[in-house]
Structure formats: structure tokens, C-alpha cells
Chain A
Amino acid sequence: MSSMNYFNVEKEIKNIKKQLHYSFDVTDRILKKEDVIIGFIYLKSFTDNLIFSTAIYQPIADLKEEISFTSVKNIVQANDVKEIKKEEVIDNILKGAVVLFLNNSSKILSIDIQKFNARAPSEPPTTPVIQGPREGFTEDIKTNLGLLRKRFYSKDLVLKNLTIGRHTKTQIVIAYLDGIVDMKIVKEVERKLKKIDVDGVVDSYYLVPYLSNRPNSLFKQVGNTEKPDIVCAKLLEGRVAIIVDNTPIVLTLPFVLLEELQNTNDYYTNYLYSSLLRFIRIIGGLFAVLGPGIYIALQLFHYNIMPLKYLITIADSTQQIPFTPFIEILFISLLFQILYEVSLRLPSYLGLATSIVGALILGDTGVKAGLISPPAVIVVAIAKIALYTIPEQAAQITVLQFVFLLIGASLGLLGLIGGLIYVISYLNSIENFGSPYLAPFSPFILTDNKDGLFRVPWTSMRERPYSFKTNNHTRVGE
């Protein structure tokens, strides 16, 4: 009766190969020992040959006792040996497991000896630290989860598994700290993720629009980081992290704009110094957004509110310029943006060449040739550099910079301030997972401002943020 369910190993292997479209890396091995036929099928691109032969093939071949499902399961030397159903065979093969059929058993064995070609955790280039942990996430989710686990020897770190993508079947893990996080947020995140039906998830950014309340908005509504220590801190605050396989970028939710003003370095140096830096970041960001706009507004509409001395300097230096002020500043802005784009795309050994061309030839010669004026170059250059005081928002600030440049040239100071009010009220209208985007500034939350515009010492930050919902607000005990 039971022999009816036993596998015809060769047939099964043929069948699986057919299902996998006879891809060239689908490898099968058949081991015949006495009358027992053992079939292995796996992807050679995923499996380490040596491990396969020493940990699986050899022990089975050398097996003294009778070969049965149990004896094979016991003899195999791997971490993850499990019995699977027939429908799961393809999935397991694709995930790098060796699948094993026996002609005297109705059970299928999956042995995970996936070889990861992952790079070792290294310092991420996007968020360098001066003092502090230098580890960064890698493209491999197991390594990433390991990096996270290493920071929490706690049973309360919950990792929930999901698979998204019809073709990529990407593994996604929702991480949170039980007891701290507001479960409503976790459920909401899960609901949103489960609703996603796409071909594939190549990078975690693919998930961002699905998690945002306003997917078409310019403004970022999901936090992202490459560093486990940041994720750790955010989990401790009561946030949820979403770890996606094949990308070092981990998403965190809920997101408020303040997070962009906070930098890892802030927490690893003196609090007064980091408060000063935050202030400078805000000034830098504001200048980056408004600088060129104000300059052009002053030139086109309000020469009379400029002090005479500045007026003289600007008037003298813009005299020889063949362009009108607006064209001039647009030209310089575009030039800087092109240079920036080029320097990003070019390999690093060509970077020097572009900076020479950009800085020396275009800037200096442009001024000397009388094509562009020094004040305009200075204003645009400062604005473009100031943008990187908040590097995570560089994209948003660049767009706003051009928008405000256009408004400044069109409507002057009145328009600029109107635009600023509009942008802020727009930001105020964004709410993600119940947290106001500009919290804790508006609405003003006093306790959260301890880590807001200023950072107070750790000992004074006794409570978790109120900007978003959490279960437990006490951070530091009495």
C-alpha cells in the first residue's frame, strides 16, 4: 500500500528539471546503493561542491546501516535539514537547498547548504561615522539578521517573515521589539506589505511607495539606513524595521522629518556639539533651499532693501555679464548639477579630472571671461554644498531649490515666503502611521524636543518619542 507512494526517483528528477525549464545549473545526482536509489537535485550555482560532497554525498555513500529516510536525515551534516512537501520542492531548490528523494520513502528531504556570495559587513559609504560602530548591512539577509540579533540578546526581538514578488520571491523580514512597539503599526505594515503584488522586489526602495501615505509626494515618508546600530536605536524607540533580502538598505517606520536632522555621529559625541551641528544642519538646509531664490529675488525685485555696500559689490561684479540675472543663475545651477551628476557616475579615477574641469575651468574661467559673476557662483556653490548638510534629503532639497529659484525670479520675496509657508503646511498635512511628519516641532512635543533641535545628554532622555505611537514610553529607569 505504501509502496504506491514511493518515488520513482528518475521520473521525479526529470519532472523537476522540466519544471525548471532545463536550466543549465540545475544539477542532479543519482546514488544507487543496493536497491535503494537516492536522487539529489540542486542548483550548482548556489551550492558549494565541496560541502555537497563532504557533508551530504559522502556520508550517505559511506553509510553502513540500511538506508532509510531517517538514517539519511541523521547522517547529513548541515544546519537546516527538513522534511518538505512536494509542492515546496521547486521553492527549496531555488533557494539553494539540495533536495533529496529516496525510492523507499514517501518523504522528501531538503538540506540547506546554500553558499552565500555575500561580502563581509563593511563601513557603508553613505553614512560614515567619526567615532562609533562601523559595521554596515550587506546584501545578504542572513548576515543582516545576524548583525541585528547580535545587538539584541532579547527574546522580545521579533522577526516576521514575508515573501514578496511573483518572480523574485524576495524574502522580507519585519523586525520589532515586542512590548515597546505599538502593534497597530506592525499590523498596518504587515497589511500594506501583504497587499503588494509585483513582479519583483529588487531593492527595498521598491516597497517605499506602497508604505507611504502619499506615494506621489516628493517627500520621503519611509526612513532608510545602512547601519545596524541605527536600526537598533530605532527599534529601541519603538519603530518597525523592514529588512529586504539582497539590499543593504533597511527601511524603518514610522518616519518623521526630524530623523534626517539626526545623524549617527550626534549620538556618539558631546551633546552640546551635536546640538550645534543640528542647528547648522537646519541653517544649511534652509540656505540650500532658499539661497539662490533669495539672491535672484533681491536682484530682480528688491535692490532697494540691499545695503549699499553689498549693492555696490554685486552691481560692480555683474556689470560685464551678457546674460540676465535669471538666466545666469539658472545656467550656473544647471552647470553645478551636471557636474554633480557626472562626478557620481564617473569612476573614481576620473573624478579628479571632472573636478578640475568643473572647479577650475568652468568656475574660474567663467568668471574671468565675464560669462558668470562671482556672487552668483558663490551663492549657488554654497547652496549646492549646504545641501549635503542633510545628505539624506539631497534629492528633495535639490528639487525645492529649483522650485524656489523659479518662485524667487517670478514673484520676489513675497512669493518666496508664501512658498515656504506652503511647503511647510504641505508637510504638516502628511501623516504616516499616525505620526505627524513635522513632529515634534509641529505639533510641538516638549519631551521629543530633547532629541529635536537640540540633543540633551542621554541621562535626560528618559522617555521614548511621543511623535509616534509606542506601547511603553519609559526609556531610562529611575
Chain B
Amino acid sequence: MMARDESVNIWQASIMVFIIIFANKVLLLPSLFYKDVKVEGIICYLILFLLEIGLLFLFIALKNKYPNTSFSDLIKQKFGIVTMKIIYFLFILFFICKLVLIYNVTYIFFKDLIYKENNTVLFLVCFLPIMNYLAFMGLRIFGRTCQLFFPLIFILALFCVIISFVGIKSTPLFFQANIGEVLLSSLKHISAFGDVIFLFIFMDKIEFKRGDGKKLFFFSLLSMLMIVLVAIAFYFSYTYTSFMHQYALFEVLGNIKDYGGLGRIDVIAVILIIFISYFQMALYLKCFTESFYVLLPKLHKQYSLIAFNIIFVLIVELLIRNLERTILYGENILPYISIISFVIVPLCVTIFLCLNKRGERWKK
């Protein structure tokens, strides 16, 4: 009865890529980068975005080669079922860890700035049902919902980016960090990147024609450009004090006095962040359930959601609750988990791309 068809078209996939790239990189990251490498944080962004684009490139190549096969089937065919299960277990771990990180960042942001009480249950009550619903309802509905909200999200984001440049008053100090430090810092925060990995999970569910890769590239580059612009505006308007401002996207708007007559325009950033965090978390949960289904195909979809909710609430409630611990968690634990997105998956994809060629030659 419900429209549970799971396929999305390329525009919807591109929009999802836009949202997921934009989301968790504009709040804490700029100031964390500044703490490590000063303004060269922008270079960190560029390096990591290059990796992200690399992933996207691999995806498109793979999709062109195997338009209708799912990633799990590919692994199963080439490496056997055990490897597939291990990789998908890592996927599950990756997504839930990222979810915890994102949830915590968002939670702390909202707790600090709009809800004054330390009400963790209220946040779970807000986020969990929507996440679960969107994850349960299927990718097509999720894609359509993203598509409907995309103009709003894009306009809000564009507004933030443009307005943030009004606040620029001075130039920060460049050339403060050497390349080693930059690489180290990039590595430290690598876990915030590699989001396009979700495309592999839904590989067989994206309607893809040859040449559609351009759209994916366009939207991801647009998103990256916006992030870099926000970071630039942030560094240029706060210069030496960038490390004091945790929530970059919010703070770049708070800095501007020229629009005092309008009241507080930073509310726009808050609304944008709310929208984006809902979608991002729901998408990660969707990835989680999808991987869970591959890992344990016999269990019904609901069980993966139940499993997720229990694990998630436990981690969030028991382990991490404040900013310092979240940052520690993000900088120390998560980079190891990023192995899946930046090592294992690219490796697999490269092997698939090569193997096939060799296989064909062999046949001849």
C-alpha cells in the first residue's frame, strides 16, 4: 500500500550528496582546524575534499561498470561472503560511530544556544522518531523529501554564505603551519569526511545513466565550495579568535552588526542546522539499516531499527555528553573507523575495476 519503491533518481541522489557533505563540516570543524593549524585549516579542507571527490570518482566508475549490481553482491562475488560480512560490519560500526558524533555535536549546539535546559530525553524524542520513520519508509520517499526541502536548505545555506562575507573585517595570519601539521590535522579530523560512502551502500538503488556523474560532481562541488566559503568567511571575520568560536556557521552570522535592525539573523543558521541534521542523521540511519540487512538478511527491517535505537541511546546517554568528550571521541577514536571509508572501500573498488578488465582479457 505504501510507496516503498526504493530507487531514487540522480537528482535526488545528488541532493543527498549535497546535504550530507554540507552538514557536519560547518559547525565545529573550522575552529578545531584553527586550533591545530590556524588558517591553513582551509588547506585541510581542500585535502580532505580531494579525498572525498576521489571516492565519488570511484563510485561513478564503479557504477558505470556495474550499473545494476549492489555493492554487497560485488564483494560477495569477488571476495566471498565472509569478507562481505566483515566489511558490512565495519560499515555498521562506521555509521553508528558517525551518528553518535553528529548527534552529540548537534545536541551540544542546540543545548547551548536554543534550549537552555540539559534535557537529553527531549532531544532523543525529537530526533529518534523522525530518523526511524525516514529510515523505515524507504529511500525513494527519503529522496523525495530531501528534494522538496532542498530549495529551502540551499537558499538558507546561500544566505548564510553570502551574509557571512559582510562580517569580514581583517585578514588572518597565513603560513603559520607546516605541511606536516596540516596533514596531521587532516588525519585527525578525517572522520568528518568520507560521507559519500553512503552512495556505495545504495549503489543498486540509484537510477544512473552514463554522464549522470556530472550531476553528482556538481552538487558535491557546490556543497564543498559553500563549506570552504563559510570557513574562509569564518577565519577572515574572527582571525586570531577563531578558536574561541565553536559553531562556525552560527557564529559568522552572529558577528554581523549591520543587520541589527532585523534582530538576530543567526537564527537562520540555527534553522538550517536543524533541517540538515535531521536529514543527515536519517540518512546515516538508513545506511545503518541497509548494512544491517546485508549482514543479517533474515531479520526483518524493524529489528535493525530496534537494535540501532538501543545501541544509540546507550552510547549517547552513557558515554558522551559534553563537548570536550565529543571532540576527544571524534579526534581519537573515529579516525580509525574512517579506514573503512578511505582505505577499504577504495581498495575494493579499485580491485573491482581492475579485476574485471583482467577477467575479460582472460576470457579472450
Residues of A within 8 A of B (CB): 213-214, 301-302, 304-310, 411-415, 417-418, 421-422, 424-425, 428-431, 436, 438, 441-444
Contact = CB atoms under 8 A, between A and B. Distances in A.
A418 B127 contact: yes
B195 to A, nearest CB: 19
Interface stretch (B39-47, B53-61, B110-118, B181-189): B110-118
A255 to B, nearest CB: 15
Contact of B137 (A308, A425, A442, A444): A425
- Among the interface residues B113, B130, B147, B264, which one has the most CB atoms of the partner chain A within 10 A? B130
30 contacts: A213-B1, A214-B1, A301-B114, A301-B115, A302-B114, A304-B113, A305-B113, A413-B270, A414-B110, A414-B123, A417-B271, A417-B275, A417-B278, A421-B130, A421-B145, A422-B133, A424-B149, A425-B133, A425-B137, A428-B3, A428-B141, A428-B145, A428-B148, A429-B141, A431-B3, A436-B3, A442-B148, A443-B11, A443-B12, A444-B147
The interface residues of chain B, by DSSP majority, are classed as helix
Contact of B263 (A213, A306, A418): A306
B263 A307 contact: yes
Contact of A413 (B114, B149, B264): B114
B144 A418 contact: no
Nearest to B145: A425
A418 B9 contact: no
A422 B279 CA distance: 11
Nearest to B151: A441
Contacts of B1: 213-214
A213 B2 CA distance: 9
B301 to A, nearest CB: 15
B144 A436 contact: yes
A80 B279 CA distance: 64
B145 A443 contact: no
Interface in B112-140: 113-116, 122-123, 125-127, 129-130, 133-134, 137
Given A305-B113, A411-B126, A414-B110, 6 more contacts: A305-B114, A305-B264, A421-B130, A422-B129, A425-B145, A443-B147
A17 B144 CA distance: 62
B349 to A, nearest CB: 29
B267 interface: yes
B263 A428 contact: no
A444 B15 CA distance: 12
A214 B2 CA distance: 9
Nearest to A303: B116
A424 B279 CA distance: 13
B314 to A, nearest CB: 22
A424 B148 contact: yes
Interface of B: 1-3, 9, 11-12, 110, 113-116, 122-123, 125-127, 129-130, 133-134, 137, 141-142, 144-145, 147-149, 262-264, 267, 270-271, 274-275, 278-279
**Leading 6 A-B pairs by shortest Cβ distance:** A307-B263, A442-B148, A442-B144, A425-B145, A428-B144, A442-B147
B278 A418 contact: yes
- Among the interface residues B137, B144, B267, B274, which one has the most CB atoms of the partner chain A within 10 A? B144
A160 to B, nearest CB: 27
B145 A424 contact: yes
A19 B126 CA distance: 65
Contacts of B274: 413-414, 417
A445 to B, nearest CB: 11
Contacts of B3: 428-431, 436
Nearest to B130: A418
Contacts of A413: 114, 270-271, 274
B137 A421 contact: no
- Among the interface residues A301, A441, A442, which one has the most CB atoms of the partner chain B within 10 A? A442
A283 to B, nearest CB: 13
Contacts of A428: 3, 141, 144-145, 148
Nearest to B265: A307
A430 B141 CA distance: 9
A415 B126 CA distance: 5
A58 to B, nearest CB: 61
- Among the interface residues A306, A411, A414, which one has the most CB atoms of the partner chain B within 10 A? A414
Contacts of A307: 262-264
Contact of B11 (A214, A421, A444): A444
Contacts of A214: 1
B130 A422 contact: yes
A219 to B, nearest CB: 14
A203 B113 CA distance: 53
Contacts of B278: 417-418, 421
- Among the interface residues A308, A309, A415, which one has the most CB atoms of the partner chain B within 10 A? A415
Contacts of B116: 304
A310 B130 contact: no
Contacts of A424: 145, 148-149
A310 B149 CA distance: 28
B259 to A, nearest CB: 11
B27 to A, nearest CB: 15
Nearest to A434: B3
Contacts of B123: 414
Contacts of B279: 421
- Among the interface residues A415, A422, A428, which one has the most CB atoms of the partner chain B within 10 A? A428
B115 A412 contact: yes
Given A413-B274, A438-B144, A444-B147, A425 B263 contact: no
Nearest to A438: B148
Given A304-B116, A306-B263, A429-B3, A443 B110 contact: no
Nearest to B147: A442
B114 A304 contact: yes
A24 B363 CA distance: 92
Given A412-B114, A431-B3, A425 B134 contact: yes
Contacts of A436: 3, 144
